[in-house]
Amino acid sequence: MESFDYVIVGAGSAGCVLANRLSEDPAAKVLLLEAGGEDTADEIHIPAAFAALFKTQWDWNYETVEQKHTGKTAYWPRGKVLGGCSSINAMIYIRGNRADYDNWRDAHGCAGWGFDDVLPYFKRAEGNQRLGGELHGTDGPLHVEDRRFTHELSEAWVDSAVAWGLKRTDDFNGVSQEGAGQYQVTCKKGQRWSTADAYLRPALGRPNLTVRTNAQTTRVLLEGTRAVGVSYLSGGVSVDVRASAEVVLCGGAINSPQLLMLSGIGPAEHLREHGIDVVVGLPGVGENLHDHPACGIIWSTKDTSDIVDSATPAGMIRYKLTKRGPLSSNIGEAGAFYSTLSESAPPNMQIHVAPTLFYDNGFREPTTPGFTSAATLVDVASRGRLRLKSANPLWRPLLDPAYYAESADFDAMLQGLRDLIEIGKSGPLARYLDKPFLPDHHDLTDDELAEHTRENTQTLYHPVGTCAMGSSENAVVDSSLRVRGVDGLRVADASVMPVVPRGNTNAPTIMVAEKAADLIRG
């Protein structure tokens, strides 16, 4: 059997980071396994094309169970490609709020994960092209820049949000998260800059790093309660490899808990139901699943353009030659953070706006020029769970984020949508808005708004929590990301987050991996 020091499962936002950092030691032999393929598609590298990757070969194409409080299932795209979700996301660079990480430390027993502890890892990763000082890194591998194209509708929305009462900000990752402004993006000179670009490619020349694509890991190999390697499928053939030091799971909030369960690590009774021998009973595996739900308010527009107008051969040629123009947009160009509860509370609401019709994950063809504003709940009380559907590793697990199980979540979303309607009437945006598109009128009764919310809630692509870190009985990993009860096995991805940060989760996942590298290297 082939042997490595470290076997990393998943070449996504976390796995690429760890492959780079662990292989910096020339004495460490590292294997990185990725179920998907190479990140060669044009759509991966053109910022405005990210939604064209959904339900393709680069997407795991998950779907939740029917949600009790919406009556609908929800499609969940997850990157199945080098770079993982950092190769198919909307590239928004947000760290979350100081309160998020202090809460991990204080409420969940995650020693060493307060904001002051994790800030150095955010800075180590970040290569910000505009911002510096005590809160930003300027020479890290992850390029962060101001977008090369911003539509006039996005600028008008920010002006209108300020007129409505939000403060203006040019740094959502600064001293204060609150305010309205334009998002910075993980791009380099107008092109997507995934963790495959930032971390993996610079390391590929190292003789001690091996990367295998189209290799789906099916279980962790255990001797007693020690992880000693993994099995993976390659071309339909099962291959075993050994890890003399550690196995590190970086599969994300869906694949990592699924793999633990398939390996006999998880809720004992559930594993026995599927005929899986229980090696370590860990009731928290798959629990605590939660996500940021989002819902839109959309208008048709007048006296302006729609960003999809640039999706032409001429627009493509312009982008290819200059890496500028509308195709360098990340679509979700601007937004805001604020609290619907009180000015002194940390934000519970994030807004994303787009200069086009974007709903149902972008699967609806725009039928008219439009403008989308979406309320995203970022302080989520509802908790669901992940469970196996089968002991067959190729079967998708059952996903239940329990959207709106806590009524406070639904109430906050309704208020966020009401606020978006009011912002649409404020300031310079109003002159570009023709009429309501979704819903088709905005003088909504409470019941009508509630029905709109149930019908149009979708994921903001941020599932976390299913291998939660902490000190409680339900914690899956400790503060060093070691799986409880198992030697030689860690999890380092969004699944370890006990609570989802307030904002987009890519930068926090990269931070987790940067810190994990130091924990592993001691």
Catalytic positions: 462
- Kindly provide the b/e burial profile for residues 351-383, where b requires at least 16 CB atoms within 10 angstroms of the residue's own CB: bbbbbbbbbebbeeebeebbbbbbbbbbbbebb
The 3-class SS string of 462-495 reads CCECCCCECCCCCCCECCCCEECCCECEEECCHH
Question: 81: annotated binding-site residue?
Answer: yes
Taking CA atoms, 436 is separated from 70, 360, 362, 444, 458, in Å, by: 23, 17, 18, 11, 20
Instruction: Kindly report the length of the chain.
Output: 522
Write the DSSP symbol of residue 131: -
Would you say 459 and 293 are in contact if contact means Cβ atoms under 8 Å apart?
A: yes
Picking from 74, 24, 70, 57, the residue whose alpha carbon sits closest to that of residue 458 is 74
Write the DSSP symbol of residue 65: P
Picking from 497, 60, 108, the residue whose alpha carbon sits closest to that of residue 289 is 497
Helices (H), 59-177: 98-108, 115-125, 152-164
Angle between helices 98-108 and 115-125 (to 10 degrees): 130
Listed in sequence order, the residues at least 6 apart from 407 whose beta carbon sits closer than 8 Å to its beta carbon are none
> Which backbone phi and psi does 377 adopt, to 5 degrees?
-80, 120
Picking from 420, 415, 16, 411, the residue whose alpha carbon sits closest to that of residue 180 is 420
Distance CA 429, CA 252 (A): 38
Token pair recorded at residue 241: 């490899």
Distance CA 356, CA 354 (A): 6
Could you list the residues known to form a binding site for FAD, using ranges. Answer: 81
- Annotated binding residues, written as ranges, equal 81
